[in-house]
Structure formats: structure tokens, C-alpha cells
Chains A and B, each alone.
Chain A
Amino acid sequence: MSKTPLYWLAGVLTIIGSLFFGYKWMYMGYPLVPGTSADIWQVEVKLSFNAANEPIKVGLYVPGNNRKFTLLDENFISRGFGLSTVRENGNRRAIWSVRTANGSQALYYRTTAEQFDSGSGGDTVRVMPEVMDHEFQGAEFEVAKNILQSAQQQSADLDTLVAQLVKRANDPADDDIALLLKGDTSVENRIRITARLLALAYVPARMMHGLYMVERRGDAPLEPWLEVFDEKNWRPFDPVTGQTGVADNYLVFWRGDDSLVSIDGAENVQTRISLQKLELEAVEAAAARRHYLSPVLEGMSLSSLPLATQNVYKILLLIPIGAFLLVIMRNVIGIKTFGTFMPVLIALSFRETQLLWGITLFCIVVTLGLSIRFALDRLKLLLVPRLTAVLTIVVLLMMIISIITNHFGIESGLSIALFPMVIITMTIERMSIVWDERGANDAIKQGLGSLLCAALAYLLMSNSHVSHLFTVFPELLLILLAATLLLGRYTGYRLLELSRFKALLDPVK
């Protein structure tokens, strides 16, 4: 029989599984290991103002997704106002408007932003930006030209030129600069002058505004920054030191000379920005992120289910892993077990009892059940009544063990109630049959084999890395399925067969 279709199927399954896995891991940032907490902040902008029965239009620059931050969700809270968001020159702007309003009003913008570990470098730009008009005239023009020329003489490239210009723009003793600043010594104005000087040198430059994401801040100040275009992309420069780059926790709000808020028809405008770092599991963050990154995957994720259902699937998804281990134990190693999947179900119950207790309790229940089953044997009962009798006895045994252990203050004994009693009953029945038919040796061997498989399956299934991987990336089951299909045509020797057939290799005595 040809194995080619099998290899194709396994290959396709592996590729599909890996693609989904890779996409979610690399692009959507789902973590491979559990417990990674993401850097997530909640940012809130509060606008308050007094309205005077006039039409009001409020514009607020809001952040957008960029290489360093992704917005996980956004809320605009504005009672009675109409809202629209627009894109202008690469900036996002929320515009609230209302026909009439009276008294003090408050508008809120709230967003949750997650920080990425991204490499340095700015956003790549396809179209070369225009150089703005430097607007220097008369004496100012001459001064500006002088400043630029001396800066150009003392610099070798764009970085050093910007550094020189920034250094001069921040020099309080520099009279030339003072002339250009016209008394406004704010950082914004210094950046504006630097940008205009760069425009004089035909280098596009602009100001950007953003926030430093710190642990918690009630009234966070907007920090202006300088951005210079260097033939390929925009690069940030510190407006005070002239060094390139910007801190990783800098969330850009908007670019340009405008102020954060523009408002028509209201007075006494107050702006307050607060931010707070959230403790959020990385998985939840990635789940929230998929909303923005991939609407296609949104409906397909486990986390779109209700929490209770999710918890059920967290366990269900582990069962194929245990079953796969059984495939290996049975078909590759050659260990005999009672019932095909019995060890997996026992392993599931070990999750509640913990391993040592689980094995101890399992042995106690099976041993007691088995001895009672042998006693029942003399009564010559029919099969189904006999099974029912054993089941009843198993339940009673479990109850008695729970009561006794509880009496001695051992808490784990209570969890025995979670043992799958039907499985235990069937195990006892099969074991007693094998005992009768093949002898105690075979029965105990198979019993221990089952227990060994159950213990290994438990260790595998309770491993936090394994369970994390399969609940976050259920598509890995496709790869597991491919491996199972391949093992389904494994025609090699089982490990334990090697010793069984070894006698064939010995020379005849």
C-alpha cells in the first residue's frame, strides 16, 4: 500500500498548523511560554470646558497604531456629542460636535495601549515628504543662514548637523537664537526653530508630541520631540541634547505644530491626561490585539468563547496530547494497558489529586475493588449486575476513603471523589478477567503499565508549558494529528518486542 497520500495529508496538516501557529506567534505576539505579562497602559484624556449655548466643535489628537504601540481598545465618552474620527496628515483626530450645549461639559478619550519589543528605526516612508517653508525673512533670514552655515561647517552628516542645530537652539547665551525665538523659550518653540533651520537646508523636519508611559501618572505632560527625515525615513531626535532616537515608552499622539485640543464655541478649556500601567496576561493582550491585527482570526479563537466553555476546552484540548502519548507507549514502546484511553482519563483525575496521592488512591481503590470482585465471583453473577455491583462498591470505597482521610486531616483524600469511577470499575473487571485467564503476573503487569502511562500522561498534560501551548495555539493539534497519522503507519519494532524476539537472534544451542 502506498504511503504517499498519507505523507501528503500529514504534510498539509503540518503546514496548516505551522502557518496558524507562526502567524499567531510571530505576528500577533501570542507568547510561547505561560505567564509572560505584557506592557500595557491605560491612557485617559479628559477635556472639560464651559459651554455657552452655542454650537461646539472639539478636535482632539489621539494616538494611532505604530511600530512601538498597538491600541488594544478605544473609548470615546461624550454624552450628547456627535463623534467622528478623521485622519489628517498621518494624524488621527477625534472630532466631537454638538448643536447646543450649556454649562460645564466633560469629554473623555480612553485607550489601552500595548508596547512591543520592536527594533529601532522609524516608520518607512514611500513618498518623500515636502520641505516646509522656513518663513525666515529679512534680518531673520540672514541670522538663520549664519546659524545654519556655522552648524554645517561643524558637522559631517545629517546627525551631527541636527545635533549642532539643537545644541545652538538650546543655548541660552546665543543671541542669534534668541532673536529667532522672539522671547518664546519653550521647548516647542525651540523645536520649531530647529525644524525651520533644517528646512532652510532643504531637510524635512517636524515636531511630534507624545507621552512617556510610566507606571502611573495623574497629570501626564505631553513631551514634544523632533523628527528629521533622512532620505528614507523619519528619525526622532532629542530636542534638548540632539541625540538620535526616542525612548521605547514614548507614545506618539500627533505630529505637527498644532496643539492637542482645538475647540470652537467654548471657553475655560482644561485638558488632563492620566495614564496607568495594567497587569495583564500576555495571552489576553494578544487576544485583544487580534481585533486590530486580524479580524479574520477573531471569530476563530478559543478566547472568543464564554469563560466556562473556555475552561472546559482547556481540559479537552489536553486529552489528545495524553492519547498521543498512549500511541507512543503502546505502538512504539509496546506497553500494554487496560483499555485504550483509560490511562488518559485516570491522568485527568490525577490533575485534581496530584500525582503521588492519585497513584496511592488509585492503587488502594483498585486493590480493594479487585479483592471484592474476586469475592463476588463465587456468587456467579451475570455480567451487567456484576459490573453494577462493582461500580457501587467502588463508589462506596471512594466515599469511605474520603471520610477516613478527612478524619485524619488529609485534604487530598477528598479529591478522590473526582476519580472516574466507571473507568475504575471497568479496570477492575478487566484486571480480574486477565488475572483469571492469564494469571496474576499478566494482570499486575498490565495494571502497572496502565498506571505508568497514566502517570506519564499526567506529567505531560499538567505541564504548564504544554497546556499553555495547546490552549493558546490549538492549531498545534493539527501537527499532533499529522504525527499520529504517521505513527499509524509505523511498521517498525516496538521497543519491548526487541527483547521478545531477541531469542531469534541467538544461535541454536
Chain B
Amino acid sequence: MRSLLATARKLREAGVLAINARNCEYTLAYNPRRLYPLVDDKLRTKEIMLQAGLRVPELYGVVEIEHQISELTAFLSKYDDFVIKPAQGTGGDGIIVVTGRVGGMYRKASGNLMSEQEMAHHVSSTLSGLYSLGGHNDKAIVESRVIFDPVFEKISFQGVPDIRIIIFLGVPVMAMVRLPTRASDGKANLHQGAIGAGIDIATGKTMTAVWHNNVIDRHPDTHYPITDIQVPHWDELLEISTRCHELIGLGYFGVDLVLDKDEGPMILELNARPGLNIQIANRRGLLHRLEHIKKHAAKLRDPASRIAFAKEEIASML
């Protein structure tokens, strides 16, 4: 019991943000409920981003009703590779990345094949709300597959590596890149076995990397070093993320971005309840940074000053 309390105290000193505190003090306090649909429905997020002139993966089509599934195969035949995802999915569930075709089958990013029938069933499940928040009826989005920047090619195993930046009151707080591994089955979720590598906000270089709660410096599948890699377009990534604060209005959220080989940074989705694993990937707690931002938020009026603040004061905080 005493050692547990001591651990709790040490974590508190290290500024580790836990789920209760995140919900109470940040998401509930800074994210008005009415704004949630803007980020929970990826179609609406996409719309807002497009209107603002930000890049997102190109929308091929939307499956809204069961009846449309019969036309799905014909519709998909136009595209060699694409991504199908639930409009209101959570935690990366229900996303299928198709990289090509083998005969009448779709080849998924993991290399496994999927029949047209299975695809139809998957879309049907998506529509019935299997992957959506609260099990509501959902839509399935078909969009272009991002061909990710070669910088991550050697340190990701299948799947698409993505960059997560936490934004609080418009200020970038912490960032990481999530690298899929063989164990994560091409998915970029840390608890499914993806690698999380912290990114220095000031420079955009990867720092420590964590895999299954172990600190590593090489990718377990490709064996290439993970640390000290410069993420390209870093300043642009920060700029896009901070602009989302103005566009959506949420106070505390996470931005998921990908780097397309040709088109540069693209917004995948926003998350109004961003996970806490980013702290493990960075080996830093969020709490001190959040409190520091709270203290100075009033004087940070424009995105440029907020990014400067993040680079100068937040990035170096322990």
C-alpha cells in the first residue's frame, strides 16, 4: 500500500496525466459536447478541413445505406488501392487498407487477402454500427490510400505510420510518431503493438521510442534505428495542427496526420479524447506542460505565437 502511494506520488511529480484527470480536467472542461460530432464523424472533419484549404486524403465515396453495398464492387473496381473506414470509428477499429488486388480478391496492407463478399460484410457491419461510438448506425468512407513518405519506410512494418500531436488551447503539447510493427498487424495503435516514438516539438526529430512499454532504439522487425530521425515538413505539421484548434473549437484534442510522399502533410482525423500513451512514447508527463500552457494561454493570441511558445518553452519541459 505504501509503495503504491509512493508510486502515485512520484508519477504526480513526474506530471503523468491519468485517465480520470484527463476526463475531468481537460476533455470535460475544455471540449464542449456539441463540438464532438465535428470530430467523431470523420466526414464532417474532412469537410471542414477541405473548406479551410487543408489537405486530407481524397474522398472516393461514402456508403450510407445497406442497399449501396450491392454496388460496392463495381464502385471499387475504379481504384487499385484505397482505404475503407467507419465515419465514426474509434481507436483505429474497422479500418481496412487495401493496397492492391489479386484476382478477384483485395490485398490488405498486412498482406492478407479479402474476398469481395467479406468486404461487403465488413461494410455492412460498419453501417450497423459495429465500430462506431455507442453502436449507432454509421457510414463507411472510401478514400485514397496515403503513400507515406519514404522517411519512415525503413522503420515501419506494413501499415501507415502516423503522427499524433496533442493540442491544448491551440498550443502543441506533445507529439509522437506511431510505427506499425509485425505484431501490431499493420495498425498504428500502441497497445496493439505499434511503436511509439516521441518527437521533439522544437526540432521535429524523433527521440525515445517505446514498444510494449520497453524503451527501444531500433525497429524490432526492420532493425533500423528509430531515434534522431528528422520528420519532414515539421513546421507545417505544427501549423496545421494549431489551425485545427481555430477550425473546430476544441480545447484539448489530438491531431492524427500522415505524410504523403507527394502531397505532404495530410490530416487523417482529430480525436477529442486523445490517449495517454503519448506520455510513454515521450517518456514525459503531460501535466506540467498543460499547466504551463494554462498559465500563459491568455497572451497567446495567434497561431504563430503559440507555435513559438511551444518550441521555446514547452518542448524543453520535463
User: Is the beta-carbon distance between B129 and A502 smaller than 8 angstroms?
Assistant: no
Of all chain A residues, which has the CB nearest B5?
A498
Of all chain A residues, which has the CB nearest B208?
A508
Which of B66, B121, B280 contacts A380, CB < 8 Å?
B121
Measured in the bound complex, the distance between the Cα atoms of B279 and A497 in whole Å is 13
Of all chain B residues, which has the CB nearest A334?
B19
User: Is the beta-carbon distance between A491 and B24 smaller than 8 angstroms?
Assistant: yes
User: Is the beta-carbon distance between B118 and A380 smaller than 8 angstroms?
Assistant: yes
Please indicate the chain A residues that have their CB under 8 angstroms from the CB of B283 in the complex. Answer: 503-504, 508
Please indicate the chain B residues that have their CB under 8 angstroms from the CB of A1 in the complex. Answer: 25, 29
Measured in the bound complex, the distance between the Cα atoms of B125 and A331 in whole Å is 31
Measured in the bound complex, the distance between the Cα atoms of B130 and A500 in whole Å is 28
- Which of B9-17, B39-47, B174-182, B230-238 lines the interface with chain A? B9-17
User: Is the beta-carbon distance between B213 and A505 smaller than 8 angstroms?
Assistant: no
Measured in the bound complex, the distance between the Cα atoms of B30 and A1 in whole Å is 10
User: Is the beta-carbon distance between A331 and B20 smaller than 8 angstroms?
Assistant: yes
Measured in the bound complex, the distance between the Cα atoms of B18 and A433 in whole Å is 26
Please indicate the chain A residues that have their CB under 8 angstroms from the CB of B93 in the complex. Answer: 437
User: Is the beta-carbon distance between B11 and A509 smaller than 8 angstroms?
Assistant: no
Of all chain A residues, which has the CB nearest B282?
A504
User: Is the beta-carbon distance between A384 and B128 smaller than 8 angstroms?
Assistant: yes
> Does chain A have a CB within 8 A of B316?
no
Which of B10, B29, B192, B210 contacts A503, CB < 8 Å?
B210
User: Is the beta-carbon distance between A497 and B19 smaller than 8 angstroms?
Assistant: yes
Measured in the bound complex, the distance between the Cα atoms of B229 and A287 in whole Å is 76
User: Is the beta-carbon distance between B21 and A492 smaller than 8 angstroms?
Assistant: yes
> Does chain B have a CB within 8 A of A489?
yes
User: Is the beta-carbon distance between B18 and A504 smaller than 8 angstroms?
Assistant: no
Please indicate the chain B residues that have their CB under 8 angstroms from the CB of A505 in the complex. Answer: 7, 10-11, 14
> Does chain A have a CB within 8 A of B4?
yes
User: Is the beta-carbon distance between A494 and B7 smaller than 8 angstroms?
Assistant: no
User: Is the beta-carbon distance between B280 and A494 smaller than 8 angstroms?
Assistant: no
Please indicate the chain B residues that have their CB under 8 angstroms from the CB of A501 in the complex. Answer: 11, 16, 18, 276, 279-280
Measured in the bound complex, the distance between the Cα atoms of B214 and A492 in whole Å is 25
User: Is the beta-carbon distance between B20 and A490 smaller than 8 angstroms?
Assistant: yes
Measured in the bound complex, the distance between the Cα atoms of B285 and A493 in whole Å is 13
Interface string of A435-464 (1 = CB under 8 A from B): 001110000000000000000000000000
Chain B binding surface SS class: helix
> Does chain A have a CB within 8 A of B48?
no
Measured in the bound complex, the distance between the Cα atoms of B72 and A286 in whole Å is 71
Known contacts A503-B283, A504-B284; 6 further A-B pairs (Cβ under 8 A): A1-B25, A497-B19, A498-B8, A502-B7, A503-B213, A508-B283
> Does chain B have a CB within 8 A of A382?
yes
Please indicate the chain B residues that have their CB under 8 angstroms from the CB of A504 in the complex. Answer: 11, 14, 16, 279-280, 283-285
Please indicate the chain A residues that have their CB under 8 angstroms from the CB of B125 in the complex. Answer: 382-383
Measured in the bound complex, the distance between the Cα atoms of B29 and A1 in whole Å is 7
Please indicate the chain B residues that have their CB under 8 angstroms from the CB of A506 in the complex. Answer: 215
How far is the CB of B217 from the nearest CB of chain A, in Å?
10
Interface size class of A (residues with CB under 8 A): 20 to 34
User: Is the beta-carbon distance between A438 and B16 smaller than 8 angstroms?
Assistant: no
Please indicate the chain B residues that have their CB under 8 angstroms from the CB of A77 in the complex. Answer: none
User: Is the beta-carbon distance between B8 and A492 smaller than 8 angstroms?
Assistant: yes
Please indicate the chain B residues that have their CB under 8 angstroms from the CB of A331 in the complex. Answer: 20
Interface hits, A373-418 → B, CB 8 Å: 380, 382-384
Of all chain B residues, which has the CB nearest A439?
B192
Query: Which of A491, A495, A509 has the most C-beta atoms of chain B within 10 angstroms of its own C-beta?
Result: A491
How far is the CB of B297 from the nearest CB of chain A, in Å?
15
Which of A490, A493, A503 contacts B8, CB < 8 Å?
A493
Interface hits, A47-68 → B, CB 8 Å: none
Please indicate the chain B residues that have their CB under 8 angstroms from the CB of A490 in the complex. Answer: 20, 24
User: Is the beta-carbon distance between A489 and B24 smaller than 8 angstroms?
Assistant: yes
User: Is the beta-carbon distance between A383 and B18 smaller than 8 angstroms?
Assistant: no
Q: List 13 A-B contacts (CB under 8 A).
A: A384-B128, A491-B18, A492-B20, A493-B8, A493-B16, A498-B4, A503-B210, A503-B280, A504-B11, A504-B16, A504-B279, A505-B7, A505-B14
Measured in the bound complex, the distance between the Cα atoms of B208 and A500 in whole Å is 17
Measured in the bound complex, the distance between the Cα atoms of B23 and A334 in whole Å is 14
Measured in the bound complex, the distance between the Cα atoms of B18 and A492 in whole Å is 7
> Does chain A have a CB within 8 A of B242?
no
User: Is the beta-carbon distance between B130 and A433 smaller than 8 angstroms?
Assistant: yes
Interface hits, A469-501 → B, CB 8 Å: 489-495, 497-498, 500-501
> Does chain A have a CB within 8 A of B271?
no
Which of A383, A489, A509 contacts B215, CB < 8 Å?
A509
Please indicate the chain B residues that have their CB under 8 angstroms from the CB of A491 in the complex. Answer: 18, 20-21, 24-25
How far is the CB of B8 from the nearest CB of chain A, in Å?
5
User: Is the beta-carbon distance between B20 and A494 smaller than 8 angstroms?
Assistant: yes
Measured in the bound complex, the distance between the Cα atoms of B33 and A321 in whole Å is 29
How far is the CB of B120 from the nearest CB of chain A, in Å?
8
> Does chain A have a CB within 8 A of B51?
no
Interface hits, A335-389 → B, CB 8 Å: 380, 382-384
> Does chain A have a CB within 8 A of B112?
no
How far is the CB of B177 from the nearest CB of chain A, in Å?
18
Which of B4, B20, B192, B279 contacts A438, CB < 8 Å?
B192
User: Is the beta-carbon distance between B215 and A508 smaller than 8 angstroms?
Assistant: yes
> Does chain A have a CB within 8 A of B144?
no
> Does chain A have a CB within 8 A of B77?
no
Measured in the bound complex, the distance between the Cα atoms of B26 and A1 in whole Å is 10
Interface hits, B185-209 → A, CB 8 Å: 191-192, 208
How far is the CB of B182 from the nearest CB of chain A, in Å?
14
> Does chain A have a CB within 8 A of B117?
yes
How far is the CB of B184 from the nearest CB of chain A, in Å?
11
Please indicate the chain A residues that have their CB under 8 angstroms from the CB of B210 in the complex. Answer: 503
How far is the CB of B214 from the nearest CB of chain A, in Å?
8
User: Is the beta-carbon distance between B11 and A493 smaller than 8 angstroms?
Assistant: yes
How far is the CB of A5 from the nearest CB of chain B, in Å?
14
Measured in the bound complex, the distance between the Cα atoms of B215 and A503 in whole Å is 9
Interface string of A101-135 (1 = CB under 8 A from B): 00000000000000000000000000000000000
Measured in the bound complex, the distance between the Cα atoms of B14 and A506 in whole Å is 11
